[in-house]
């Protein structure tokens, strides 16, 4: 059973090319300004081609940083395995996780980080501090850090060939040293909103004086955070991933986003039906005082 599981995981990870899926914000709209994956790549292996991100497989080291940073989980791939034993994550100096990764591990039961050095690197410190600030806002206790020099020294690294040559009993023994599959997250597992359903991580502000209720944001939001019906424009940020697509595509610049943690709420703005003072057509607006429809306003601007 253990042998089958380990080999299954191993085969799954062979020759897997990281890939950007078609729900990437830049595929959805040419107005998207998202560069999260490009900015996160430590070896500059992601470039824009015709406005869309493309991963250069030759240069990609499969570090998983782009997988963790994409706000819409569009980079398909796996995060690298961490050494995890007894629900404690061993800090690797060669890769610093994102705050989002740490919070997802935390919510999966890992609240202790183990360092083999007494002096923790500045990058790790910064990430843990940020994660602890977020945990505080989420009403959760902080990460617990312990020092254990012996913990990492005995870790064995196996080549693919060595793995195939091991007997079942040896694999079982090794199984206790390897990260179990449940800790090996892929892009779909990296949705913070699902892990913290009572909170929202983004504040969405709408300028009701400039919004023309055109519906473009509603159409493109991948999480259905913005819903316009006959009477209301509703904003529910709980599922919002701060992908910034609504902000990028709004022709009036009426949406602004701020990353902050607060209890999940829905804000409803009344939709009014006013008569345009210029063309006399009825139009939708969020501003009761507005007396010019979108088309007449555009005419006035030109």
Binding mask 105-144 toward ligand SF4 (x if CB under 6 A, else -) reads ----------------------------------------
Residue with Cβ nearer ligand SF4 (37 or 91) = 37
* Residue 226: φ, ψ to 5°: -115, 115
Continuous H helices in the chain = 2-13, 25-28, 36-40, 65-69, 99-107, 122-137, 149-153, 160-165, 168-175, 192-195, 216-220, 245-249, 294-301
The half-sphere exposure of 279 on its side-chain side, counting CA atoms within 13 A, is 12
Distance (Å, rounded) from C-alpha 224 to C-alpha 234? 10
CA torsion, ordered 179, 20, 43, 183, to nearest 10 deg: -10
Least distance to ligand SF4, CB of residue 255, Å: 5
User: Of these, 134, 190, 225, 276, which contacts ligand SF4 (CB under 6 A)?
Assistant: 225
Question: Of 57-65, 83-91, 170-178, 208-216, which part binds ligand SF4 (CB under 6 A)?
Answer: 208-216
Q: Which is nearer to ligand SF4, 30 or 109 (by Cβ)?
A: 30
| Residue written as token pair 């493309």 | 54
User: Which of 6, 18, 25, 192 lies at the binding interface for ligand SF4 (CB under 6 A)?
Assistant: 25
Name the maximum alpha-carbon separation found in the chain: 83
- The helix/strand/coil state of 19 is strand
- Strand pairing partners for 186? 78
Q: Write out the binding residues for ligand SF4, residues 43-82 only, by CB under 6 A.
A: 53, 70, 72, 74-75
Which listed range, 2-10, 167-175, 190-198, 238-246, lies at the site for ligand SF4 (CB under 6 A)? 238-246
| Among the listed residues 244, 261, 284, 285, the single contact to ligand SF4 using CB under 6 A | 244
Binding site for ligand SF4 (CB under 6 A): 20, 24-26, 34, 36-37, 53, 70, 72, 74-75, 202, 204, 206, 211-217, 221-223, 225-226, 240-246, 250, 252, 254-255, 257
């Amino acid at each position: 059973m253990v042998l089958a599981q380990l080999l299954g995981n191993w085969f799954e990870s062979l020759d897997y090319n990281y890939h950007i899926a078609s729900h990437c914000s830049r595929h959805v709209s040419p107005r998207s300004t998202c560069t999260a994956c490009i900015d996160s790549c430590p070896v500059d292996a992601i470039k824009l081609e015709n406005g869309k991100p493309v991963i250069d497989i030759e240069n990609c080291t499969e570090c998983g940083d782009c997988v963790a940073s994409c706000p819409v989980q569009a980079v398909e791939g796996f995060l690298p395995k961490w050494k995890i034993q007894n629900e404690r994550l061993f800090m690797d100096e060669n890769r610093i996780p994102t705050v989002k990764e740490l919070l997802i591990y935390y919510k999966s039961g890992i609240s202790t980080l183990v360092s083999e050095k007494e002096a923790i690197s500045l990058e790790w410190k910064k990430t843990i501090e940020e994660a602890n600030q977020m945990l505080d806002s989420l009403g959760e206790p902080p990460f617990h850090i312990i020092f254990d020099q012996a913990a990492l020294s005995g870790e064995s690294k196996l080549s693919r060939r060595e793995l195939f040559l091991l007997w079942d009993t040896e694999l079982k023994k090794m199984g206790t040293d390897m990260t179990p599959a449940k800790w090996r997250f892929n892009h779909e597992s990296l949705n913070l909103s699902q892990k913290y359903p009572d909170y929202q991580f983004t504040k969405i502000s709408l300028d009701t004086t400039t919004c023309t209720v055109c519906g473009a944001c509603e159409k493109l939001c991948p999480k259905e955070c913005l819903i316009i019906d006959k009477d209301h424009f509703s904003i529910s940020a709980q599922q919002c991933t701060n992908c910034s697509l609504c902000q990028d595509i709004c022709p009036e610049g009426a949406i602004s986003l701020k990353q902050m943690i607060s209890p999940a709420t829905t804000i409803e703005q009344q939709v009014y039906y006013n008569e345009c003072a210029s063309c006399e057509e009825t139009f939708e607006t969020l501003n009761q005082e507005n007396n010019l429809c979108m088309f007449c306003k555009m005419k006035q601007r030109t």
